[in-house]
Amino acid sequence: MPRFAANLSFLFKEYPLLERFAEAKACGFTAVEVLFPYDEPASEVAQRMADLGLDMVLINVPPPNYTGGQRGFAAVPELEERFRRDFKRALRYAQFLGAQHMHIMAGKAKGEAAHETYTRNLAWAAKEAPELSLTIEPINGQDMPGYFLDDFDLAVEVLDAVNAPNLGLQFDAYHAQIITGDALAAWTRYAPYVRHIQIAGAPERHEPVQGLIDYPEFFRRVDESGYTGWISAEYMPKARTKDGLDWFNDFRAR
């Protein structure tokens, strides 16, 4: 049976971030992820989670957030120094929160120099944080034009090249559907590399109940694969978050 976490950067946005933890707990979630929590003191976030008995599944690198900034630097040749500086800051934050995974964003870049920079930075990061699970995530070019890691085969190529035990694939079924046209087939092919899953309906990225992805079948295949990690709900609710949680409540009832 899947274990679901709430992505608080997408869900419960009716509330300020620090209030979303309690809302997620009240709805039955026992784990959360926050893409960019850096605007809040780590001590305050950690206290909220401790008070509510929540686990932090994942945060993103780099800090602070998307607002007015680039979506990662790991593959950008001229920003290698900044990537490493920001990674160290994010690592301290992740360790304080007890995050299980840290997603390293590649940024906008193309070409051989970007590929070499990306591979080199990931190898460095894996050695810098040997006790933490690090992930890379293919993101579709419609949502993020110019993003370096926009293909699953490229992700596997990079993972094989780095060959670090603490670096794996973050499988977002929504992005997999947009990139490959068949999220279920993509799961079957790339599951051995996966250490974290995210879900949303496709193509509109709403609740995982309608659209192009057969989620009951997807969850069945995930269970059959032996995956035991979290599946994070990372979608844009059509209305208030609570009003669209029937899919989650149905699984809890089982």
137 is catalytic: yes
State the residue for tokens 């279920």.
Answer: 184
Q: Is 14 considered catalytic here?
A: no
Q: What are 199's two structure tokens? A: 């879900």
Catalytic residue among 19, 33, 131, 234: 234
Residue from 44, 137, 204, 207 carrying the catalytic annotation: 137
Q: How many beta carbons lie within 10 A of that of residue 145, not counting itself?
A: 9
Distance of CA 131 to the CA centre of its chain: 18
By annotation, the residues acting in catalysis are: 137, 234
